[in-house]
Amino acid sequence: MTMDRLRLFTLVTLVVNVASHCGYTEATYRALKKLHDILSYGDHFSVLAFPCNQFGEQEPLDMPEIINFVTSEYNVEFPIFNKINVIGEDAEPAFRQLTDESSVVPDWNFYKYLVDETGHVIDAWGTATTIESIFDEINFAVEKAKEKSKSTPPATEKKQKPASEAEKNKDEL
């Protein structure tokens, strides 16, 4: 196994089904952006956004429009994947796994799944759960992944933001 592949196992992710025209869009995208900015230093955390039009048809945009919207309105730098289905027969297999493991099935936009560095779902939250209210649990998972990765240093290291700095920036959410 290569060093780059080992590094993949130290990444904690927050997987979110997103929509551009939802009442939760503004607050959630802004919070996701801040969360990603605070915790992504050192390659131990990333938000993964999956546009979905299954709930109230609130993601009618095509992919270039979605990317333009989230980058121009919210300055998003985390990955935005292709538009997918998250429920039903045509649900993306990754979301089927998330819902099977967590027993939490999205019934609206902005469901959040915290996945540890081994690919297992740690927790899941519905639309109304704010990023601010789950920051500590996410930060704990990231710190745990950092500790595990210390035994296998990454091939190229980015400057890591100290944990105390992440805690200090929590108030920015």
Burial class (CB in 10 A: 0-12, 13-18, 19+), 171: exposed
Q: What are phi and psi of 47, to 5 degrees?
A: -85, 140
The residue from 11, 16, 19, 22 that is catalytic is 22
Round to whole Å and give the CA distance between 61 and 160: 36
Rounded Cα distance, 65 and 160, in Å: 33
Distance separating alpha carbons of residues 140 and 130, to the nearest angstrom: 17
Note if 22 is an active site residue: yes
Which amino acids are annotated catalytic?
Answer: 22
